[in-house]
Chain A
Amino acid sequence: MRRATFKNNWIAAIVVAPQLLIIFVFFYWPTSQAMYWAFTFEQPWGGGNEWAGFENFNRILTDGRYWASIRVSVVYAAGATALSMGMALILAVFADRQLRGYRYYRIGAIWPYAVAAPAVGLAFRFIFNPSAGIMSYINAAYPGFWDPVLNGDHALAMVIIAGAWKQIAYNFIFFLAGLQSIPRSLIEAGAMDGANVLRRMRDIQLPLLAPTFFFVLVINITDSFTDSFGIVDTMTAGGPARATNLMVYKIYVDGFQGLDYSGAAAQSIILMFLVVALTVVQFRYIERRVHYT
Chain B
Amino acid sequence: MKTTFISLAVIAAVIGGAAQAQDKIKFEYWYGLGGYLGDVVTQTCDRFNASQSTYEIVCVGQDGYATAVQNTIAAFRAGKHPTVVQAYDAGTADLMMSGEFYPVQKMMADFNIDIDWSNYFPGIANYYASSKGELISMPFNSSTPVMYYNVDDFAAAGITEVPQTWEAFEEALKALEAAQPEKCNYGYAPSTWVDLEQFSMSHNIPVASKNNGYDGLDAEYVYNTTQHVKYMEDVKRWLDAGLIEIKTSQGGINSRDAFAQNQCSVYFGSIASHATVHASAVEGLNWDVAMLPIYEGFERTNTVVGGASLWVLSGKSEDEYRGAAEYLKFLATPESEEFWSTNTGYIPVTKTGYDALVAKGFYDNAPYKGREVAIKSLTYTDPTPLTRGIRLGGFIQARAEWVAEVEAALAGKKTMQEALNTAVERSNQVLRRFERTYANKTLP
Contact = CB atoms under 8 A, between A and B. Distances in A.
B410 interface: yes
A34 B5 CA distance: 12
Contact of B396 (A130, A242, A258): A258
A239 B1 CA distance: 23
B20 interface: no
B99 interface: yes
A13 B1 CA distance: 27
B66 interface: yes
Nearest to B398: A258
B333 interface: no
B99 A45 contact: yes
A46 B2 CA distance: 14
Contacts of A45: 73, 76-77, 98-100
B3 interface: yes
Q: Interface residues of B: mostly helix, strand, loop or mixed?
A: helix
A42, A237, A238, A241: which has the most chain B beta carbons within 10 Å?
A: A241
Nearest to A43: B437
A6 B403 CA distance: 61
A91 interface: no
Contacts of B413: 241
B433 A263 contact: yes
Contact of A41 (B400, B405, B408, B436): B436
B17 interface: no
A260 B394 contact: yes
Given A45-B76, A239-B407, A30 B251 contact: no
Interface in B422-444: 426, 429-430, 433, 436-439
Given A45-B73, A242-B404, A262-B437, A33 B3 contact: yes
B439 A50 contact: yes
A137 B150 CA distance: 28
A47 B94 CA distance: 12
A128 to B, nearest CB: 9
Contacts of A236: 250
Interface stretch (A78-86, A163-171, A249-257): A249-257
A50 to B, nearest CB: 7
Contacts of A155: 250
B2 A264 contact: yes
Interface residues on A, range: 35 or more
Given A45-B98, A256-B66, A125 B250 contact: yes
A150 interface: yes
Contact of A29 (B3, B73, B407): B3
Contacts of A34: 1-3
Contact of B410 (A26, A132, A150, A258): A150
Contacts of B405: 241
A254, A260, A263: which has the most chain B beta carbons within 10 Å?
A: A260
A59 interface: yes
B164 interface: no
A240 B411 contact: yes
Nearest to B403: A239
Contact of B250 (A239, A242, A268): A239
B250 A237 contact: yes
A152 interface: yes
A47 B98 contact: yes
Contacts of B410: 150
Nearest to A42: B437
B397 A150 contact: no
Nearest to A271: B1
A12 B70 CA distance: 41
Closest 7 CB pairs of A and B: A45-B98, A241-B408, A129-B252, A258-B397, A30-B3, A149-B251, A241-B407
Given A155-B250, A241-B413, A258-B394, 13 more contacts: A26-B7, A30-B1, A41-B436, A45-B100, A150-B246, A237-B250, A239-B404, A241-B407, A258-B396, A260-B394, A261-B2, A264-B2, A265-B2
Interface of B: 1-4, 7, 66, 70, 73, 76-77, 94, 97-100, 246, 248, 250-253, 394, 396-397, 400, 403-405, 407-408, 410-411, 413, 426, 429-430, 433, 436-439
18 contacts: A29-B3, A30-B1, A34-B2, A42-B437, A43-B98, A43-B438, A44-B73, A45-B73, A45-B76, A45-B100, A131-B253, A133-B252, A149-B246, A150-B407, A151-B411, A241-B408, A256-B70, A260-B394
